[in-house]
Amino acid sequence: MKEKRSYVIAGNWKMNNNRSQTKGLITQIVPLVPQAGCEVVVCVPFTNLETAIKAVSGTNIKVGAQNVHFEKSGAYTGEISAEMLIEMGVEYVIIGHSERRQYFGETDETVNLRVKAALNAGLTVILCVGERLPDREKGLTNELVALQTKAALIGVTAQQLDKIVIAYEPVWAIGTGKTATSEQADEVCELIRSVIRDLYGDEKSDKMTIQYGGSMNAANAEELLSKPNVDGGLIGGASLKAKDFAEIISCAK
Ligand code: PEP
């Protein structure tokens, strides 16, 4: 099954790096990953997108944003539309990251609206789902992750699904240094795959790229990425160091 899927390793820089640091970090990453056996993406702050796009020109690295608004234009002060991202040459966008759900009022409903707007404009979506620690402790992980996945995909066609990567990110593992065990990661990625199977059938579910995210680093990436249902990673902290990011990429073949 795994050979049917493309690995995607994406760095989520969050609110880090100015423009000269962006150019510097990408310039360091480029020569380390020319033979990558996976899609390589860097998701940078809005203000660094143009710099990043110039810096990756002619390389195998793609650029993503970390959020997008669901309307095309209008009175939405402070927001950026999918069309604006496309016009710049952005190819990916992270949607529904737990930090957006936790600090910026993102809900399953707005995640769904953003997913559809991004797909309609032609972006590839990295859709984040994952449980908080109290949810896991109450045994609610599977129900919650299944619900988040289904809610995010309402109205998404089977054809559009080809432009979605799902990132399973247990909230308790993000930025905490507490990685899920590879068994825990695989189990929930498999659950997500079964949700896709129920909604879209076997072929789509076999082809779906499902990442793990949450304190993935150069030391634990090989084990996590070897699991049958884990097809890549969404990497926060470790994506800010070229060598660490490249080592993770080298594990994704
Ligand atoms: C993330 O921000 O999506 C993430 C997984 O962060 P970290 O790797 O730092 O846990």
- Give the distance (Å) from ligand 1 centre to CA of residue 73: 30
Both tokens of residue 111?
């995640």
On whether the CB atoms of residues 173 and 214 are closer than 8 A, the answer is yes
Atom of ligand 1 nearest to the CA of 97: 3
- Identify the three-state secondary structure at position 154: coil
Are residues 65 and 80 in contact, defined by beta-carbon separation less than 8 angstroms? yes
**Distance in Å, CA 236 to ligand 1 centroid:** 3
What span, in angstroms and rounded, lies between the C-alpha atoms of 64 and 124? Answer: 9
The pLDDT of residue 103 is: 97
For ligand 1, residues with CB inside 6 Å are 12, 14, 169, 174-175, 213-216, 234-238
pLDDT by residue for the chain (253 residues), tens only, comes to: 677 799 999 999 999 999 999 999 999 999 999 999 999 999 999 999 999 999 999 999 999 999 999 999 999 999 999 999 999 999 999 999 999 999 999 999 999 999 999 999 999 999 999 999 999 999 999 999 999 999 999 999 999 999 999 999 999 999 998 899 999 999 999 999 999 999 999 999 999 999 999 999 999 999 999 999 999 999 999 999 999 999 999 999 8
The answer to whether residues 66 and 114 touch, using CB atoms and an 8 Å cutoff, is no
From atom 1 of ligand 1, which residue's Cα is the shortest distance away? 236
CA 167 to centroid of ligand 1, rounded, Å = 11
Q: What is the DSSP string of 36-78?
A: -SSEEEEE--GGGHHHHHHHHTTSSEEEEES--BSSSSSS-TT
Residue of the nearest CA to atom 2 in ligand 1? 236
User: pLDDT value at position 253?
Assistant: 80
Gap from CA of 74 to ligand 1 centroid (Å): 32
Q: Which one-letter DSSP state was computed for residue 177?
A: S
CB 5 within 8 A of CB 231: yes
Atom of ligand 1 nearest to the CA of 233: 5
Question: 34: burial class by Cβ within 10 Å (0-12, 13-18, 19+)?
Answer: exposed
pLDDT for the residue 3: 74
pTM for this entry: 0.98
Residue 182 is predicted with a pLDDT of: 97
Ligand 1 atom with the smallest distance to the CA of 176 is 10
- Identify the pLDDT of residue 251: 96
Catalytic residue among 97, 99, 106, 131: 97
Tell me the Ramachandran region of residue 227: left when phi exceeds 0, alpha when psi lies from -120 to 50, beta otherwise.
beta
- Is 97 catalytic? The answer is yes
159 CA to centre of own chain: 19
> Identity (one letter) of the amino acid at 196?
I
